[in-house]
Structure 1
Amino acid sequence: MTQQETAPVPALSKKTEQPKECFLIQPKETNEDATKTRKRKKKKITDVLAKSEPKPGTPEDLQKLMKDYYSSNRSVIELEELTLPDSCFLKANDLTHSLSSYLKEICPKWVKLRKNHSEKKSVLMLIICGSAIRALELIRSMTAFRGDSKVMKLFAKHIKIQEQVKLLEKRVVHLGVGTPGRIKELIKQGGLNLNPLKFLVFDWNWRDQKLRRMMDIPEIRKEVFEILEMGVLSLCKSESLKLGLF
């Protein structure tokens, strides 16, 4: 061969690129994030109550609340003195009653009682609730029971305590409906005498928009127990006063 033919050199193939691995870096959870997560997971009392069946209040509930409230600053003997006698409790509302039907059940001789009541600065029946708005609702809902009875609003909203004291001095009032804060102040100032009182009813089972009962609110619970110590306990023990849980 005059000229040696060289074989064509094969073209170098490009190196196949390997796919790169992608790593996602998770942001570190800060203490603040962890706290927020725990807060989100924590069940609210409103969520729990919304899913649970309502249970009517009982005398044992009131006794337990009192014991828990005073246990940290009272002796064993003092706690025993704060115990309400079972005989002072009327039948509690089983959640089937309206206010009028409940009051008729616990006080069937109301008409006779109110006719014989002539003492000023006092009431025969006291209904304690958690707010002024609730007090107005209760007054409207007891029409069938109260009849011609004189009813007085005993709360602070838009009503000065001096005005209430003067009204109690001038008029014979059969029914008082109000909040524990104002009722406590009326007792302290001598505007409301508890001795003629025959029935004390707590608006126990009603719940507000946050599903709280009146005794679930610390301020109200404190004022209720202060009222009990201002003469209610001794009247219950002497069997002249009865308690009801509506």
Structure 2
Amino acid sequence: MAKKMVHEDSKRSHKKRSAKATHPFSKIKKFKKNKPEKLENEEEEEEALSTQHKLFKDKDKAMSTVKAVHKPAKHQVAAADKGNVELGSSREQLDWFISAFQAATRTKLSSLELQEIPENSMLELSNTMDHNIHNLMKHVKGIFGPSWEEVLCEGSLVKGNAEPGCPAILIISSSAVRCVEILRGLKTLTTKCHATKLFAKHIKIEEQVSILKERVNIAGGTPSRIKKLIEIDALKLSRLSVLMLDMHKDAKGLTLFNVPQVSNEFWELYKAYFHQQVMLSKLQICLY
């Protein structure tokens, strides 16, 4: 009988231990006992994270300093945004223009070709005057120097001096309206031989062909019509020495270099008829 009771007590004790082991709160004491150690580990972890955060912060600060030191010049930033080039030195303008040319035409110039581009390809205008229509006539006189009157103001064709329909300076704008504004600013410069309008708006191509049979000193127009007149051999380029590109921004902030369609037409025109002349030092570009 005594053995049976001892056996039952042992059995009940075993059940209690099993229940205690499986009870959901059976490990509370153990958790509480280890809690200080865990908290200590958390504090160490927080301290480590704080140190890591400080290191990243210092790294970001250092990188910001490096970026500030190597911040691109204005003309370099503008190079990525066609049409917003700052009118800086002729070298800066030429770098921007060649970069824009390669990007727009998907042309990759070799290092040798880049070296062969003449340093004086880009005309650097006087910085003492603003680049606006009011001062355009003065800038044009400065481009041609003391002989500007001889080059631009002769009214009739002189054998050996001026081929019909061949301007000395060609101005390219993004729109007919802008072109009219520019040529109006040069009206008094060529009293004997007025500047010729080469755009499609309100002017038939036959009228322009007729005008180009006479002496032309200054011509201005849009890329599409200029290209067409060159293709039919009405507009000639043998006397052309200055290609002036209008950098004026329209109401939307766009220029000749980023107006949709017009920009593509300009680069097609430049690549087909002007780039080789620039490479041969026969033609200079002027951003105005």
2:174 is aligned, of 120, 130, 133, to 130
| Number of positions where the alignment pairs a residue of Structure 1 with one of Structure 2 | 191
Q: 1:166 to 1:143 in 2, by over 3 A?
A: closer
Report the counterpart of residue 97 of structure 2 in structure 1.
62
For residue 216 of structure 1, give the secondary structure of its aligned residue in structure 2: coil
Tell whether the 8 Å contact from 1:195 to 1:235 is kept in structure 2 after alignment: no
- Segments of structure 1 that go 5 or more residues without pairing to the other structure are 1-52
Q: How far apart, in 1, do the equivalents of 2:262 and 2:208 lie?
A: 21
Does the alignment pair 1:230 with 2:272?
yes
Does the alignment pair 1:219 with 2:261?
yes
Tell whether the 8 Å contact from 1:70 to 1:79 is kept in structure 2 after alignment: no
Does the alignment pair 1:158 with 2:158?
no
Q: C-alpha offsets along residues 136-155 of structure 1, whole Å, 9 cap, x if unaligned?
A: 10111123543433311000
CA shift at 1:79, angstroms?
Answer: 10
Report the counterpart of residue 142 of structure 2 in structure 1.
105
Greater helix content: 2
Q: 1:151 to 1:143 in 2, by over 3 A?
A: closer
- Aligned ranges for residues 77-116 of structure 1 at < 5 Å? 77=110, 80=113, 84-92=117-125, 96-97=130-131, 98-108=135-145, 109-114=147-152, 115=154
TM-score normalised by L of structure 2: 0.59
CA shift at 1:59, angstroms?
Answer: 2.3
Q: Quote the RMSD (CA, aligned, Å).
A: 2.8
Tell whether the 8 Å contact from 2:198 to 2:221 is kept in structure 1 after alignment: yes
Q: 1:148 to 1:84 in 2, by over 3 A?
A: farther
Q: How far apart, in 2, do the equivalents of 1:164 and 1:233 lie?
A: 25
Task: Tell me: higher relative CO, structure 1 or 2? Use CA pairs within 8 A at least 6 residues apart.
Answer: 1
Q: 1:234 to 1:75 in 2, by over 3 A?
A: closer
Tell whether the 8 Å contact from 2:85 to 2:96 is kept in structure 1 after alignment: no
Q: 1:161 to 1:85 in 2, by over 3 A?
A: same
Q: 1:155 to 1:93 in 2, by over 3 A?
A: farther
Amino acid at match of 1:190: D
Moved more, 116-125 or 127-136: 116-125
User: Which has more radius of gyration?
Assistant: 2
- Segments of structure 2 that go 5 or more residues without pairing to the other structure are 1-83
Report the counterpart of residue 38 of structure 1 in structure 2.
none
